[in-house]
Structures are given as structure tokens and as C-alpha cells.
Amino acid sequence: MPPKRTKRASEPADTRGSTPECVINIEDDAPPLRRSSRMPKKSALFDDIKTNPVPARTPKRKAPRELDESEPELEPEDPELSQHVTNDIIAASLKPWEESELEDWDGWAEVASDPELFTDILRKLGVKDARIEEVLLIDHLSTRFPPPVHGLVFLQEYESMRMVWLENQPDKSTLWFATQTATNACGTIAILNILMNAKDITIGDKLSEFKEQTKNLAPPLRGNKIATNTFIRGTHNMHSSRIELLHAVRALEDEVVKIKKARAAKNAKRTASSGRRRSGGATSTAYHFVAFVPIGNGIWLFDGLDDEPGYICDIEHPENWLEDIESTLHACTMGKGDQYNLLALCGAGQDAGEEEDSSSSRQNQFAPAIHEWVKRLAECGELHGLVDS
């Protein structure tokens, strides 16, 4: 039996009439491969992974890209410079406004019941032959204030003063009376109600023109003309600092918010049928200026928050009408202690030019600050202890 021959890859295969084979080292009589129908056995490693899965890894965040340029370091703050800036801000907030700035400001600041301040207001309005003096005692006014006294400005915690009106009121159509339509304008309104009805006093060109323009208007329209007059408003605010004017605006905004909330609460409860009354809560004390003015044969009360002036008494002492108003003033101040203030608009007792020179240094005087300081000490009960010591 001849030996078996193994085909080599280097020998060319006979491809005639058949498909070429590429079999290497395969014996002709090698048994065929058997394939099993059974699934291959899974690896033990696979079972372990299935029963104990590997927790998924949290993807790592990419590191932030470095800036090409490093951020500049902040220079340390200079304490002296900071203090300098703070002082400048405080000084700017407390200094009076310039005249051009006051004309653009449409608010009204609170005015202290200070005779020097009101005298400066008179000078700025154009009134040269009058001044304001403080009344410390009501008794014997006529002996301490010789004529002419054109009117009194009375400050107290607000309340209606119609109780001093006479029952029978005379005709009022010839009186110049303006109601108050701007917050904090009551002091200037009281002064104007005196000046516009006073005799033998020079009120200046601007006020004379204003009086002529408003003589036929109703009191509310006169009040609105005052509120929108830049000259009168600027004169009222001329001694107020910037922070005082801003405080006046903030107070007015708070008052508007309160009114809106009160109206909303009232509208919300209109459908409710509850008989309970709710307390209004604590409110801040509001002080108000009014004027007592002698006109003709009688004395009138001009309150800008009223709709008309009120006739309070006849003048029985034409030489000095202050004698006739003493009883009314005692009735108005009864039980009030020192919670009121009274000023008199008198004829000028010194040269107008001299007073104008003194008023130019008004910004450097500390009378209003001292007045406010003494009032605060009295309110907190510390004044008596300081006086005794």
C-alpha cells in the first residue's frame, strides 16, 4: 500500500472541473467535526458579574479651563479714603440745597416752629417790614407785643378747632383764604393767609402778583396754586437739608401705601356683616399750623385743613386786638402743657437791611438743632434731670 501523500501549499492544485481548495495539513480520511446542539456552558465569571454587578461610575467632570489671563487682585481699601468719602456723603446730605435745585424739587419738607427761620422765609418772599417773634406766655400779650401785630401762628397736635367759632358767621366772600393741598405746607399756608389779608404791610412784587392772580379762585384752587408755585415752594424748603427733603418724600410714600392698604381692606370687608370694630393701631403724632388774623372788626381763624375760615370773636380793643384773643388762646391751650407753640407776625422793629444781613448767616446758626434737641430731651423725660444738675 503506497504511502499517504499530504498536499503542500506550494503545490498548485488541479482546478480543472472543480472548486479550488485551500486546505492545509488536512488528511483525506480525517473524521468530520461534530457540532453539538447544546448551548455552550456559561463562564463562572459571567455568573459572578450578573449576581454582583459592578456599580456604574459617575462620569468625571472636566476640569475648568484655565483662564489665559489671571484675575487682577483687588487692592486693599484705604481706610482714610473710605472715611473721606463717608464724610463727603454726610456733608452733602446735610447741606442746604442750591436755589436752582430747589426749583426742581416738588416736595415740601417739615418746617420747625422757629421764629428766625420764619423771618428768613418772609425776607425771601419779599416781605421787608415784618418779622416773626415767639410768644412764650399768653397772659398780657398786648403789653409785650406793641402794634402792629398782623397775626398769630399757632402750632399744636392736630385737631379740629371749630369749637372756637361763633355760631353766627358773617360774610366771608371778601377774605383771601387758601386751603392746604400739599403735605407739610401748613406753616407757609398760615403765613400766606396772614399776609394776603394784612393791612399796612408790603408783601413784595411776587406775592402781590400771586395775590392778584388768585383773587377770584376758590380756596382749594388757591392752595393748589401755592403747592405748584416754584418760588413759594423753594422758599419754604430753603433751609432744609437734602436728607430732610428725602425724608419728607419717603414719609409721603409711606402714607400713600397706608391709604391704599386701608382702602383695600375696607373694600374686602364690604361684603362681610361683622359688627366688630378694629383699632386703628398706633399712629405718629401730627402737628399742624393755623393762623389767627384780625380783619375789620373781628378776629378770624384760618385753618388750611378746613374748607373755610371761621369767625371767632369781635375786636373790642382796636388799639391792640391781642387783648381780645387771650381768652380764646387759653381755651385752645388748656390741658396741653408745653405741647404747643405760638408765633407772632409783627411789624419790623429794626432796619430791614440789617435783618437781611443777619439772615444771610442763618445756615451757620444752630438754633433749630438746639430746639429739636431740647424737645427730644423733654419727650424722653431727661430734661428735668439735666436742668436740676
pLDDT digits (tens, 9 = 90+) for 218-267: 999 999 999 999 999 999 988 876 666 666 666 666 766 777 777 777 66
Query: Hey, what's the cell of 323?
Result: 387783648
SS3 323: helix
Q: Are strands 287-295 and 149-157 parallel, antiparallel or unpaired?
A: antiparallel
Res 80: pLDDT:
54
Strand partners, 133: 344
Residue 186: active-site member? yes
User: How many H helices and E strands in the chain?
Assistant: 14, 6
pLDDT band at 124 (very low <50, low <70, confident <90, very high): very high
The lowest-confidence range among 6-15, 35-44, 276-285 is: 276-285
The lowest-confidence range among 134-138, 203-207, 261-265, 360-364 is: 360-364
CB 123 within 8 A of CB 239: no
pLDDT(83) > 80? no
Q: Which pTM does this prediction carry?
A: 0.61
Give the pLDDT mean for 341-366: 59
Residue 150: active-site member? no
Q: Which domains does the chain have, with CATH numbers?
A: 99-263+284-351 (3.40.532.10)
Peptide bond into 64 cis (omega under 30): no
Q: Of 288, 313, 332, 346, which one is the catalytic site residue?
A: 288
Residue of 134, 175, 166 whose CA lies nearest to 153: 134
Which tens digits make up the pLDDT trace of 184-222? Answer: 999 999 999 999 999 889 999 999 999 999 999 999 999
Q: Of 186, 313, 332, 346, which one is the catalytic site residue?
A: 186
In single-letter form, the type of residue at position 107 comes to: G
H or E element, residue 205: helix 205-214
Rounded to whole angstroms, the Cα distance separating 55 from 130 reads: 97
pLDDT(42) > 90? no
* Distances 181 to 107, 227, 246, 375 between C-alpha atoms, Å: 12, 7, 19, 28
